[in-house]
Structure 1
Amino acid sequence: MGASLPRYLDLKIHQAVRERAYDGITVVGAYERSYPSTIFQGEKQDKPFNWQRPTARIINNHLYIECFPGYDYVEHYAEAIASFLGIQQRQGGMLTPPSRVSFQPASCSDTQNALKATSIRGFPEGADTVVLGMVHRLERLTGPVDWAGDGCFAWKVRQFNGRKVAFVGFRPAFWGNISGEVVHYLASQYGVREVLYLGKLGSVKRGLRPNTLLATGGLSYVRGQAVEWENVLRDSVASVAQACTVKGNHITLGSVLHETKNWLASLPSSVDFVDPEVGMMGQAAIQHGIRFGYLHIISDNVAEKYEEDLSNERMRSVLAGRSKLYEVVQDVLGHYLSSAVGRNR
């Protein structure tokens, strides 16, 4: 992220971290939204999903930052805090040495137990297809009906050519292995047969300007191993969005803070995209024998610097570019969900 890193971190770090030095700061896997935990003042509550951020609790001059349980999410936030404090100290913004930062790893069981305690327990039976991610941007497909569910999850159910489709939103972040555990839960507990994921990712190839193109594919490298699936959206992308969609291979990385120059230089030339979730979802889908596809906005370019990146996502040009791309995403999904090919797979 280079020169944009301080601005990115400044948007993410809980106010309690900035207030003073502590005996230590520990990031833990815990979903807490009530007193004595304190809410992050930077939460963007002008959108229905992906806005709840880690909370904070102070016990005996030790600060605990509480993330929705997931190994990648907990580790990422600990690294973000440590990086933020290090930058502040180097810039002379701190009069005392920064607090020592650590994290308690969250297991897959921790994530599953946290999911079971949420409103996902009320998920409707019989959904063939689940659409995850930026579902609040799919107004043409979801329709005017209110979102059902509360707490972490909410959903709308629609029929498309005989297929029952649930659009599912998540108020915390689908970060890293949390996303894979959500797919696992929906497949194992509710018999979901297909998951479509709509989000954003980074390009690792030059020449792909952020917020002007979509990305899709059928392969991700997860911890060095290739995970491959049939991309169920491939034909619909080719039919209605070929001109603005890049097809390529993906690599799953637990944190944007791991996207360093050395990491980029070590990548095989076959890799085109990076984010923390796609491979985790694809891997879970394969394990359960269900279908999977993703269609993401290219929101950042790791290989070369553009004005638009993850540190200024509320810029007018970013919002305008993404708004146009969400229209294309709806064209693709509408084509796929309404087609006999999609229904009979």
Structure 2
Amino acid sequence: MSVTAPAAVTSEDHTMGERLADYVLPKVPVDLLAASAGRAWVYPNRSLSFLLGGEKRRGKRFNWRRPYFAVADRVLHCVVPPGRDYTHHYTQLLRSACAFIGLGADVTTESPASGQGLEFVDHWLPDDLPAHDLAVLGYVDPLFHDHTTGWTHRPGFGWRTARIGSATALLLGCEFSFWGDLAGDLVTALVARGHTTNVVYVGKLGGLQPDMVPNTLIVTGTITRIEDHTLTWDSSLDLTHAPPTLRTGTRHVTVPSVMDETRAWFRDHRDDFDIVDPEIGHMARAAATAGVSFDYLHIVTDNLNGTYEHGLYAERSAPVATRRRRCLRDIEAILHRSLT
């Protein structure tokens, strides 16, 4: 199904304000977009073949493959993994990029077919992936260096095993980002294969409350709002003797894209929610459907109030890296206590 995209999100509309361009423009090929005069087509990878090109490795072990861009017949083709939220996100990126470089945007979106995302993820999950007491997804590369085996790599994924006391944790990294609903498909595939009965997602998200200083705070909770439904679950984490960086009981809301975090959206949601990201709701729902436990431990990396210097547009600076390392050490301590 193909649809015409909504209007572009501009700096005046978005909670990032003037820094929105710093977030958007590095994510799209501006030269190819200009060559196509703003005409673009966003659609899911139609086969199970892995994404071609789109590399943004920069020394990263995971989360470095990006959607593939190419111009054909004066139209910029943007080929993304088969997730609804993926197609929406890149549609919004392209429309905003057109606005920033002074082009009229003519962007068409083709959503993936039902079940296409799960088929894609299941295809690329390695056949020899082991089963463990806990599967840790997301920001796994920095965790448990003193307790793990070496990395095993297959196209699309890599993993290692951490032994903590009598328990084992599967640290599963992904070469492509599992945006939005595709994250739920990953949980569904892992559980269906019998790889784990416990899932923890370690990631980053946005804070809606003014006291949430980016890269100094870890959040967790057991409630989310997704697609106009409220979902709650029980935590399996041991949060006794929690570090001062941890804030529990946070109220989460799931949105398809960071681009949806506009000033108007923020005004409508800041009184009811504390944090926002595109994945937690989908993963929690998939875990609940499969009858397994789910938790998240996320670093607040940007504040939608716009009162702090660092955000998603400046993630590689030394102060950000230093603060995140402390948060990751605290996340590791929480997981260690929960496993033992």
CA 1:121–1:71 in 2, change beyond 3 Å: closer, same or farther? farther
Matches within 5 A, 1:257-268: 257-267=259-269
Counterpart of 1:177 (choices 157, 174, 181) is 181
Q: Do the aligned partners of 2:36 and 2:75 also contact (CA within 8 Å) in 1?
A: no
Does residue 101 of the first structure (1) align with residue 107 of the second (2)? yes
Contact 1:14 1:55 in 2 (8 A): no
Aligned-partner residue type, residue 232 of structure 2: E
TM-score in terms of structure 1 length = 0.88
Tell whether the 8 Å contact from 2:24 to 2:93 is kept in structure 1 after alignment: yes
Identity of aligned residues (%): 27
2:44 corresponding residue in structure 1:
29
Aligned to 2:60: 47
Name the SS of the counterpart of 2:265 in structure 1. Answer: helix
Matched, 1:122 2:137: no
- 1:333 Cα deviation from its structure 2 partner: 0.9
- Whole-Å separation in 2 of the counterparts to 1:249 and 1:278: 11
Q: How far apart in 2 are the matches of 1:117 and 1:224?
A: 31
Is contact 1:118–1:153 with CA below 8 Å preserved after alignment?
Answer: yes
Unaligned 5+ residue runs, structure 1? 90-96, 339-345
1:123-177 CA distances to partner (integer Å, 9 max, x unpaired)?
A: 22x322100011001043553x321132111111233333232110011112100
Q: Within 5 Å, which residues of 2 pair with 1:2-151?
A: 2-14=17-29, 17-22=32-37, 24-30=39-45, 37-40=52-55, 43-89=56-102, 97-124=103-130, 126-140=131-145, 143=148, 145-151=149-155
Supply the distance in 1 between the matched residues of 2:209 and 2:38 (Cα, whole angstroms).
43
Q: Give, in whole Å, the separation in 1 of the partners of 2:49 and 2:34.
A: 21
Q: CA RMSD in A?
A: 1.9
- Report if aligned partners of 1:131, 1:167 keep a CA contact under 8 Å in 2: yes
Higher helix share: 1
How many residue pairs get aligned? The number is: 322
Structure 1 158/212 Cα, relative in aligned 2: closer, same or farther at 3 Å? Answer: closer
Aligned to 1:190: 194
Following TM superposition, by how much is the alpha carbon of 1:279 offset from its aligned partner in structure 2, in angstroms? Answer: 0.9
After TM superposition, the score normalised by the length of structure 2 is 0.89
Distance 1:9 1:60 in 2: 25
What is the Cα deviation at residue 15 of structure 1? Answer: 5.0
Matches of 1:134 and 1:302, distance apart in 2: 22
Task: Report SS of the residue matched to 2:115.
Answer: helix
The answer as to whether partners of 1:142 and 1:156 remain within 8 angstroms in 2 is no
Which residue of structure 2 aligns with residue 278 of structure 1? Answer: 280
From 290, 293, 297, the equivalent of 2:292 is 290
Range 66-75 or range 260-269, more displaced: 260-269
8 Å contact kept, 2:206–2:301: yes
Q: Corresponding residue for 1:342? A: none
Whether the 8 Å CA contact 1:38–1:57 is kept in 2: the answer is: no
**Separation of aligned partners in 1, 2:81 and 2:110:** 12
Structure 2, unaligned runs of 5 or more? 1-15
Match of 1:224 among 204, 225, 228: 228
Letter aligned with residue 54 of structure 2? I
Amino acid at match of 1:21: S
* Distance across 2 between alignment mates of 1:154 and 1:142: 17
